[in-house]
């Protein structure tokens, strides 16, 4: 197979924990040819969707873990699989890339995750497809509605719809002297829609990342436990990752969401679960492969490449 990874610059990878690197390493181990490009290197000429891509060789050297060949402009149709692993935010450039993927898919290119699914499955809003699994939630840009929600539920999380890694997440209460200014800032004075969720105190036990590959949950999740004095469990916000077997409720949530993910062409998703509640469905560039692999011995990257190989044989 020829696999094209579209991701952020390679020099920014922290390979000791990077999921995209784990995928690349496993694909390399199996003898697949790997190429790399950034999203801005996609283009269209006539009816051809093209990419300026480098051949990528994985080395055993550290920190110089890769070697890039000369850039070559080539059709996306020349690859067995295109794996989109660019990190959010899901801005207009991300949207344009997803639209180019949809054009390419119409010509038979296999893109993971599909352009349509990337557009349809916003990582925050996707939970609204599963109302029975979520805590009380409000989506709004209006300050008076958000303040009323905070007053009703007393302890609330506010977060934007397009960020990652715990960025710009606020925990607020009705008596917070900064409540109005927080709402003003996070909504850009009513111009940006956000999510409000009732605070789930079980965050102290960890914000669990459940990986779902081709509709099937990985047997272990990663509980991301907040640092002292923190509300957020995200590893990027200083949380500590602890691999655990799925609980009965974890499995119930994953088995409810999994078939819908598979139907929509989402090969990999990261479900975020706090306590008994689904809080996010991450589809752009889900992480935590490396932590689960190192703590449990389960080859999560192998499960992913297995799925990729199956889909490329069809």
Q: Is 14 a catalytic residue?
A: no
Q: Is 110 a catalytic residue?
A: no
Cα 56 to Cα 36: distance, rounded to the nearest angstrom? 6
Q: How far is CA 242 from the centre of its chain?
A: 19
> Choosing from 85, 86, 124, 198, which is the catalytic residue?
124
> Choosing from 198, 224, 250, 290, which is the catalytic residue?
224
Q: Is 151 a catalytic residue?
A: no
Q: Is 209 a catalytic residue?
A: yes
> Choosing from 85, 86, 110, 232, which is the catalytic residue?
232
Q: Is 232 a catalytic residue?
A: yes
> Choosing from 25, 162, 250, 280, which is the catalytic residue?
280
> Choosing from 159, 198, 208, 290, which is the catalytic residue?
159
Q: Is 91 a catalytic residue?
A: no
Q: At what angle do helices 300-313 and 289-296 cross, to 10 degrees?
A: 120
Residues in CB range of 268: below 8 A, 6 or more apart: 112, 113, 211, 212, 213, 283, 286, 304, 307
> Choosing from 18, 209, 214, 234, which is the catalytic residue?
209
> Choosing from 122, 282, 290, 291, which is the catalytic residue?
282
Q: Is 224 a catalytic residue?
A: yes
> Choosing from 18, 105, 272, 291, which is the catalytic residue?
272
Q: Is 263 a catalytic residue?
A: no
Residues involved in catalysis: 124, 159, 209, 224, 232, 272, 280, 282
């Amino acid at each position: 197979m020829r696999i094209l990874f579209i991701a952020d610059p390679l020099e920014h990878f922290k390979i000791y924990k990077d999921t995209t690197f784990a995928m690349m390493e496993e694909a390399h181990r199996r003898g697949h040819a790997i190429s790399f490009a950034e999203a801005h290197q996609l283009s269209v000429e006539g009816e051809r969707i093209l990419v300026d891509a480098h051949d990528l060789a994985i080395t055993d050297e550290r920190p110089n873990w890769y070697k890039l060949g000369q850039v070559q402009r080539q059709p996306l149709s020349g690859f067995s699989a295109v794996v989109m692993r660019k990190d959010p935010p899901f801005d207009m450039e991300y949207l344009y890339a997803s639209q180019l993927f949809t054009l390419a898919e119409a010509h038979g290119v296999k893109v993971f995750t599909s352009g349509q699914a990337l557009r349809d499955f916003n990582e925050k809003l996707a939970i609204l497809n599963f109302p029975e699994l979520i805590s009380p939630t409000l989506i709004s840009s209006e300050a008076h509605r958000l303040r009323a929600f905070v007053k009703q539920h007393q302890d609330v999380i506010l977060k934007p719809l397009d960020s990652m890694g715990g960025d710009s997440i606020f925990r607020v209460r009705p008596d917070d002297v900064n409540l109005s200014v927080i709402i003003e800032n996070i909504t850009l004075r009513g111009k940006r829609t956000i999510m409000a969720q009732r605070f789930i105190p079980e965050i102290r036990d960890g914000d669990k990342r459940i990986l779902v590959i081709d509709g099937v949950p990985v047997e272990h999740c990663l509980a991301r436990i907040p640092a002292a004095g923190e509300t957020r469990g995200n590893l990027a916000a200083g949380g500590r990752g602890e691999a655990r077997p799925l609980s009965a409720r974890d499995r119930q949530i994953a088995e409810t969401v999994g078939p819908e993910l598979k139907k929509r062409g989402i090969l990999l998703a990261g479900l975020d679960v706090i306590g008994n509640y689904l809080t996010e469905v991450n589809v752009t560039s889900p992480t935590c492969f490396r932590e689960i692999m190192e703590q449990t011995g389960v080859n999560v990257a192998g499960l992913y490449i297995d799925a990729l190989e199956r889909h490329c044989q069809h």
